[in-house]
Amino acid sequence: MTEISAQQKAEVLSEALPYIQRFFDKTIVIKYGGNAMIDEELKEGFASDVVLLKLVGMNPVIVHGGGPQINELLDRIGKKGEFIQGMRVTDAETMDVVEMVLGGHVNKEIVSLINKHGGKAVGLTGQDGHFIKARKMYLKGANDDELIDIGQVGEIESIDPSIVAHLDAHDFIPVIAPIGVDREGESYNINADLVAGKLAEVLHAEKLILMTNTPGVLDKEGNLLTGLTAARIDELFADGTISGGMLPKISSALDAAKNGANSVHIIDGRVKHALLLEVLTSQGVGTMIRAH
């Protein structure tokens, strides 16, 4: 790739101006996951992109996953991860690992990276101030009346946006691990896509961006679907095009689009600076989901 001139760089910056103006002081919820959390160059790029968005006046809020890191620690203790309908089965021992990895190692690493690049990041789990209230989730079995118990996996009862709003107002960047807590203080592993989606709803986010290891939502021939509506998504669920780990991702994206987020984007986190391409250019990268 040829070096671009100073003039071309100036033009690129100038082209970003309308997007900076449009999204100034707007909340952007980012689900951070996949390769972008593992590859060192992508990790550094993500952190610097988040800081840039904050410095030009936007309010990024990060919700992170950590599936590969959880699997790695489970392997080390000789425990095999199990998934049903895209959800991790979480017994008490697995929950200890989830809290250690998500609330500890992964969360702190993201906070440190953002701070290294000049941001002011603060790490949280839903246990802090009980701001993510959860209840036990059961999955539907083959028959409608059959319920599958997957352990300490939660669904969201409510999210109190005040902690996040307070951090935003004081120029901090919230970095949230998807762990919730019930009224008795029991902790629950919650799918990070669900937390990001619900957070985008309660914060009335301008954008919800879900970073993945795919170019976006693909049809059965592997072609990228750049725009999806609720009706089209129902068709893709019904014919099995959307399945496995994509099910909770698309469901939460659609709920967010219907209930408060202005736009929802599923983007390829393996692309360097994918976040900036999505927010500050006309190109966009991935699939945009809207309610209608």
**For this structure, is 67 an active site residue?**
yes
**For this structure, is 31 an active site residue?**
yes
Residue tagged active-site, from 49, 54, 168, 193: 193
Spatial neighbors of 114 by CB under 8 A, at least 6 apart, are: 47, 50, 51, 62, 121, 173, 175
Collapse the DSSP code of 38 into the 3-class scheme (helix H, G, I; strand E, B; otherwise coil) and give the result: coil
Number of H helices, E strands in the chain: 10, 16
Give dist(CA 184, CA 69) in Å, integer.
Answer: 28
Matching residue, tokens 């972008």: 36
223 is in an annotated binding site: no
123 is in an annotated binding site: no
Residue tagged active-site, from 67, 123, 151, 154: 67
CA torsion through residues 38, 39, 42, 48, sign: positive
76 is in an annotated binding site: no
Residue tagged active-site, from 31, 54, 198, 207: 31
Which among 226, 180, 217, 213 is positioned nearest to 199, based on CA atoms? 180
**For this structure, is 34 an active site residue?**
yes
Residue tagged active-site, from 126, 151, 249, 269: 249
197 is in an annotated binding site: no
**For this structure, is 249 an active site residue?**
yes
Collapse the DSSP code of 62 into the 3-class scheme (helix H, G, I; strand E, B; otherwise coil) and give the result: strand
Binding-site members are 66-67, 88, 189
- Active-site amino acid positions: 31, 34, 67, 193, 249
Binding-site members for substrate are 66-67, 88, 189
